[in-house]
Structure 1
Amino acid sequence: MLSLTELRTRINEGRLAPRQAVAEVQAAIAERDPIIGAIVSSDPEPIVPEEGPLAGIAVGIKDIIDTAHLPTQMGSPIYRGWQPRADAAIVSRLRSLGAVPLVKTATTAFAGLDPAATVNPHDHGHTPGGSSSGTAAAVAAGMLPLALGTQTGGSVIRPAAFCGVAAIKASFRLLPTVGVKTFSWALDTLGLFGASIPDIARALALIADRPEIDLADDAPRASRIGLCLQGFAGEADPDAAEALSRAARAAEAAGAIVTDLTLPDAFARAWELHPIIQDFEARQALAWEYANHREALPILLGPQLDRAQALTAAQYDAARREAHHARRQLKDVFGEFDAILTYSAPGRAPRGLTSTGDARFNRLWTLMGVPCVNLPVPGDGLPLGVQIIARFGRDGQALAVARSIETALARG
């Protein structure tokens, strides 16, 4: 994979020009993407700034995020060739740092459940996950050092786990969603994908203008980690359970205190109600598409919106109250723990390209609005990942805990 920090080190030392760094990415895309199908449009002659902390870093932009120079087609024929007049706020921020928004990456239609055409780089017969399918696959295939995704249920953490890359779903609203196609305004959150935890920590610190996020010692020397199986979400596969156990042992080897954590019943109720909040808002966010292009909506999203028409405001309000109650209890949980360690996905990427996998181990944490990090766990076969979660606004702490586990896993 391409490392953002390594590229920037070579550029800072004068061993690589920013234009050369972008050219390397273009060559990798030309060689690998015809098989992977992660890229839906590309800038053939990008402007490459010579200055800036992200100069020379080519970025993939999920194709529900507006770009003034490339179409934003949202994985749907309804928007084929649609060209925004302006960049989304996050894209403007990347440009101001010297980064090059080089390509748009494949997304499921409107970031829903219907699979994109992208394949998993590790085995083309398996899904890369979704909805940030192209984003995760492009980073995993060594085509991009940094890419943007979004998460409403599990669309950052799950594909990162399936493709074996580092990723963070940032704290809710840490990164601006202005210019990003809405699915659920109470849940949609931007995320970053990279080759390693230091890569995404550096990128998030710069993009969010919060240098403290990139401090390697942001984790307490003896982090208190709650090992959470999320029993209300069902059982994970044995391989996922073993990966979580390995990560817990690595955390202890790094000096952490790992204790089993069973969440109070309020969290199971909130987990059950996530779809009500999501779908009640989706039917409004996609009201124009539903009213005018119902026949063009894909096989899963169309019926999902059909069912959403029956949801009531009373159901929605009750679900929001339960979510708020759980968020208040989560503050008490983080009074006892610095981070939570749990599954990123039920197991390895499923075989076949008719599903993007199951988000059941992700959706509670999206609803809570807290930072979530996917950390790949080394091993044979298709990738496996674990999820590190911290208190709202403590993105740097989640990354620091993940970094300490990543280092311990590398030592074996």
Structure 2
Amino acid sequence: MEQLLTRVAARDEQVLAWSWLDPAQAQARARQAAEEIRQGVRHSPLQGIPVAVKDLIDTEGMLTTYGSPIYKDHHPTSDAAIVTALKKAGAYVMGKTVSTEFACFTAGPTMNPHNPEYSPGGSSSGSAAAVADGQVPFAIGTQTAGSVIRPAAFNGVVGLKPSYGVLPTAGTFPLCPTLDTLGTFSRTVGDQRLILTALAPHLPIANAVKNPKILVCKTPFWSQGDDEMLTEFDQFVADCQQAGADLEHYEMGPDFAALLTAQQQIMGVEASRALSTHYDQQCDQLSAPLVALIEQGMQVNNADEAAAHNLKARCAHKLQQLFRDADFIITPATAGTAPKRVDGTGDPLFNRIWTLLGLPAITFPIAEGENGLPLGIQLIAPLGEDHALIDFADKLQTLTRA
């Protein structure tokens, strides 16, 4: 903890990853954890490990603002379920990391640790940046569109968006209950095994898939990726094939393209409900982009919302059939490297449909762009196959490093 706080003191004026951090409290928690270990207490492999928690997640005794000035003095009186799970596993919360406003698209102060002129992504900006900068080993974030995978890729760390519902969301601000998913950040793929096993002990640990079949899925949005990302993606696929991977190219049909609009409609209408009181009573304290999102959501009628959910169900069924003969899907994680901060937090274009379908996804860096920023790959597995996904990502990353 002393080393981490030294790193924070040296770097966080440049990165601004933390929304709340009390060094004295962090040291006290570290001393308590160390004493438990000396006494032989071992709850899980996370015993004594500090974890950063996104500012969207209630944490007793710590300022939790949801990224909004409306909650600038909000101190929860109880922990969110994921914080309780962390403590039960023997980990402790080091502090709170910056979230965009209500986990939407209006950026907070966090900068990309690779270059402060660039965005760390969103909405889990601080969580990804703090891990990338070596200020904390693990962090918790959330994803409703692309808020774990995108910032993980932009910051060059490993990000896991588990299957929908694997990690408990009670006590996390409910922006969009049918999509909101807690996710985790780490510096290695293998570290994801530790944190998922500790936080989701109910999730079956399946044996690693032998000789998995991989579907190379450029998605209907392939043409919107930049040349650098598309070139590195193709090179990564070629590296996988040369390493002996069983690959098959898969072209998604028009229904999957329509999932993009479906995700945007569902997110918009549920966000408009979640934020309706703030819109009615405190609209002057909401950013213009968030007001626009709320108002767009208000325009989605019941028939369109039902149609979006029906399309989601049809596509989920198609993928279920597809996964009978295949094990994993590989796609780009983002359209390119991180944008300049003045241009926003980046487009979750390559993440939205997988979040909508609830499938587990993981990203890790595969290359460096000409601007010196990371580029990440995205792997997707069938629902509930989170551990198999981590094992596969770990193997694939090792194979392609050579």
Q: TM-score, normalised by structure 2?
A: 0.93
* Aligned match of 1:357: 346
Contact 1:221 1:256 in 2 (8 A): no
1:32 equivalent to 2:15? Answer no
Compute the displacement of 1:291 (Å).
Answer: 1.3
Compute the displacement of 1:240 (Å).
Answer: 1.0
1:410 equivalent to 2:384? Answer no
Amino acid at match of 2:25: E
For the residue of structure 1 that corresponds to 2:25, the secondary structure is coil
Residue by residue, what CA displacement relative to the aligned partner does 1:116-156 show, whole Å, maximum 9, x if unpaired?
Answer: 11000011100010000001111111111000010000000
Q: How does 1:13-412 map to 2 (within 5 A)?
A: 22-43=1-22, 44-46=24-26, 47-48=29-30, 49=33, 50=37, 51-52=41-42, 53-210=45-202, 213=205, 218-232=207-221, 234-379=223-368, 381-411=372-402
Amino acid at match of 1:102: M
Compute the displacement of 1:369 (Å).
Answer: 0.1
Compute the displacement of 1:269 (Å).
Answer: 1.9
2: CA distance, partners of 1:295 / 1:275 = 24
- Runs in 1 of length 4+ with deviation above 6 angstroms? none
2: CA distance, partners of 1:313 / 1:233 = 31
> Unmatched 5+ residue regions in structure 1?
1-21
Sequence identity (%):
36
Compute the displacement of 1:400 (Å).
Answer: 1.5
For the residue of structure 2 that corresponds to 1:185, the secondary structure is coil
> Unmatched 5+ residue regions in structure 2?
none
1: CA distance, partners of 2:234 / 2:204 = 30
Compute the displacement of 1:177 (Å).
Answer: 0.2
Contact 1:165 1:196 in 2 (8 A): yes
Contact 1:147 1:193 in 2 (8 A): yes
1: CA distance, partners of 2:229 / 2:194 = 28
RMSD of aligned residue pairs (Cα, Å): 1.5
1: CA distance, partners of 2:157 / 2:132 = 6
1: CA distance, partners of 2:258 / 2:222 = 11
2: CA distance, partners of 1:166 / 1:210 = 23
Q: CA 1:378–1:234 in 2, change beyond 3 Å: closer, same or farther?
A: closer
For the residue of structure 2 that corresponds to 1:45, the secondary structure is helix
Compute the displacement of 1:253 (Å).
Answer: 4.2
Amino acid at match of 2:208: A
1: CA distance, partners of 2:261 / 2:270 = 16
Q: TM-score, normalised by structure 1?
A: 0.91
Contact 1:223 1:339 in 2 (8 A): yes
Contact 1:374 1:385 in 2 (8 A): yes
For the residue of structure 2 that corresponds to 1:323, the secondary structure is helix
Contact 2:221 2:349 in 1 (8 A): no
* Larger mean Cα displacement after TM superposition, 397-406 or 173-182: 397-406
Residue by residue, what CA displacement relative to the aligned partner does 1:211-253 show, whole Å, maximum 9, x if unpaired?
Answer: 754x7xx432211000011124643112211222233233334
Compute the displacement of 1:263 (Å).
Answer: 1.6
Compute the displacement of 1:256 (Å).
Answer: 1.9
Contact 2:46 2:194 in 1 (8 A): no
Contact 2:203 2:384 in 1 (8 A): no
